[in-house]
Structure 1
Amino acid sequence: GIRCCSRKNGYLQEWSSEWSSSYIGPHSLGTPHRPATSSTLDLAAQLEQHQHPPIPPTFTSSYTMATIDPFDAALDLLRRLPPNSTKQNLQGIISLRPELEEDLLSSVDVALTSKRCAKSGRDFLCCDYNRDGSSYRSPWSNEFQPPLEDEGDAIDLIPGGRVRRMEEALNAGFDVYRELYYEGGVSSAYLWALDEGFAGVVLFKKTADARGGGKGGWDSIHVLEVNEAATKRSAHYKLTSTVILDLGLQTSSVDNLELAGNLTRQTEQDMPLQGLRDAEIEQSHVVNIGRTVEDMETRMRNLLQEVYFGKAKDVVGDLRSIQPLSEAEKDRAAHRDVIDKMGVR
């Protein structure tokens, strides 16, 4: 959900409004995951006993110890914890229940991290789809950093042929898109072959400059699956997009403000493929993917701005008044005076 916090004189005031989002994602196309190391002791009681967080006494719950699945309990717990602490809490849950690692890492989206490609000198984004152990594949050089110990694994994990050519074209195209739309940040695209068609992920990350005590981070994750028709004249595109937003303000003149959350949307559509040669079909895939991702990003940005920020603004406006209390009291007194005079007449 979207959560706002105000801290003043040691007391925490908190209010929230629900985002229609879910930590349960479609990320079943990723590479194997590796253990996390951090722990969160506060989550121990919840996960070990397979219980949901306490439910207010005005509600009743049909959950019992025997019916709650540990994976569902972990997801429910993550939904109730601060969205900007998802990564730390996820690592804590995995350290407590290692058998949930693969399912959780493929279902929970966290803020992206970046590395610099040693060969090209360009930054790239890291996720589970370009990772093997502690190594990440750069889309610019198509090499793992640090290099994998087993060269046989590298052959299986590094794309080649048409998939690699489309990956290079997507990275070049989205690099221009990123500069035009985000005016900075980092973007990366990764593709891998499937038995029928191919799949991939497109990533964007933009961090706002810390000016005037403010902070901000935008992470968008677009997971796609493409299935070509037997005639090679069209393809079915399935796109699942998640935006992770984290904004904050920390100054001495006003209370601290935290605004964080994520939003997930999905779309499917059939799109035509132009040309008959392989190079033309590959270029058509690149254009279709670029258009689909751009349309989804525009839709989600507008949704965040018009719906969720508008709702948060209304909540804050109801809780706090910019007008001093003395002036508000004068206005109420003048209003009562007018009403009284109208009653006398």
Structure 2
Amino acid sequence: MANEVQFDAALDLLRRLSPLKVSENLTAITTLVPDLTEDLLSSVDQPLTSARCKKTGRDYLLCDYNRDGDSYRSPWSNEFEPPLDDATYPSDRVRKMEVEANTAFDVYRQMYYEGGTGSVYLWDLDDGFAGVVLLKKNVAQEAGWDSIHVFEVDERRGSGRTCHYKLTSTVILHLGRESEGVGSLTLAGSMTRQVEADLVVENVGGQGKDGGHVCNAGRLIEDMEGKMRNMLQEVYFGKAKDVVGDLRSVAPLTGVNRDRQAQRDVISSMGGK
């Protein structure tokens, strides 16, 4: 019971602190309460970090889903760094889908992000398999986008050729601007959305239905990312622009006062008539 109360309190505290310092705050909390480390690491989304695969020389993203202790598995070599003697790996079938998914989302990353880093990790479940698609793009120190898409495929739940898919997507975004005219401005936050669907699994390529699973997951994630980008642009950025526009005038204050005085003169002259 004490651990549950502490866990809820830690999550509540993290929600109220700056999203830019979630990793530092998480480290501080787990230092105070080490028993919560595993639960918090698996429950709290953090800005993604990357490492370079020693075998292939390619960058990959780190998260709790490719972590085993203090080691992380590279999607390119399927090896843990530092090496582990008793590591858990995906089955041969799931590993083949993982390779195919990394190839597909590498194209997706180039088309939508024009750079950045992406990684896909899959693992086995009793009724199917699950995976996570990670995408990260930074623009110097001014802006960063991290998207984390966790999906589950239940191959026993469905009818005929359909399978049940569940997707949970999180976007962590930060924007910063510092100039003489604006000063120091930082906008940061995260958003999570979830969707479930029963989709038909077609035979795609040489992997048959396994290739169809990769296509279905890709379509779900592409659609979800598009909706979340539109929501950020239209709702959150639009509302922030309205608030800033009401609080701060773009035109010089002398010009605003001159226009207001002209309006008052016109109203006074109309009243005199």
**Band of TM-score, shorter chain:** over 0.9
**SS of 2:132 mapped into structure 1:** strand
Q: TM-score, normalised by structure 1?
A: 0.75
Closer, same or farther: CA 332–103 of 1 in aligned 2, 3 Å: same
**Do structure 1's residue 242 and structure 2's residue 178 form an aligned pair?**
no
**Do structure 1's residue 70 and structure 2's residue 6 form an aligned pair?**
yes
| 1:172 equivalent in structure 2 | 103
Deviation at 1:316, TM superposition (A): 1.1
Identify the match of residue 219 of structure 1 among 125, 133, 146. Answer: 146
Deviation at 1:233, TM superposition (A): 1.5
Deviation at 1:276, TM superposition (A): 11
**Do structure 1's residue 325 and structure 2's residue 256 form an aligned pair?**
no
How many residue pairs were aligned?
A: 270
**Do structure 1's residue 283 and structure 2's residue 211 form an aligned pair?**
yes
**SS of 2:166 mapped into structure 1:** strand
Q: Which string of whole-angstrom CA distances, capped at 9 and with x for unpartnered residues, describes residues 199-257 of structure 1?
A: 110000000135xxxx1110000011110137762110000000000110123443100
RMSD: 1.8
Closer, same or farther: CA 304–277 of 1 in aligned 2, 3 Å: closer
| 2:121 equivalent in structure 1 | 190
Deviation at 1:70, TM superposition (A): 1.6
Deviation at 1:261, TM superposition (A): 0.1
Distance in 2 separating the partners of 1:266 and 1:307: 18
| 1:161 equivalent in structure 2 | 92
**SS of 1:69 mapped into structure 2:** helix
Q: Is the 8 A contact 1:247 1:260 kept in 2?
A: yes
Q: Which string of whole-angstrom CA distances, capped at 9 and with x for unpartnered residues, describes residues 250-277 of structure 1?
A: 2344310000000000000000112499
Identify the match of residue 61 of structure 2 among 109, 117, 125. Answer: 125
**SS of 1:249 mapped into structure 2:** strand
Q: Which string of whole-angstrom CA distances, capped at 9 and with x for unpartnered residues, describes residues 184-204 of structure 1?
A: 000000000011101110000
Q: Is the 8 A contact 1:232 1:273 kept in 2?
A: no
Distance in 2 separating the partners of 1:114 and 1:276: 31
**SS of 2:183 mapped into structure 1:** coil
Distance in 2 separating the partners of 1:161 and 1:294: 26
Identity across aligned pairs (percent)? 61
| 1:309 equivalent in structure 2 | 237
Deviation at 1:281, TM superposition (A): 0.8
**SS of 1:256 mapped into structure 2:** strand
Unmatched 5+ stretches in structure 1: 1-65
Q: TM-score, normalised by structure 2?
A: 0.94
Q: What are the residue-to-residue correspondences of 1:41-56 with 2, within 5 Å? A: none
Matched residue type, 2:122: L
Matched residue type, 1:216: A
**Higher fraction of helix:** 2
Distance in 2 separating the partners of 1:116 and 1:192: 21
Q: Is the 8 A contact 1:207 1:218 kept in 2?
A: yes
Q: Is the 8 A contact 1:240 1:264 kept in 2?
A: yes
**Do structure 1's residue 144 and structure 2's residue 72 form an aligned pair?**
no
Structure 1 residue ranges, 4+ long, deviating more than 6 angstroms after superposition: none
Closer, same or farther: CA 90–172 of 1 in aligned 2, 3 Å: same
| 2:271 equivalent in structure 1 | 343
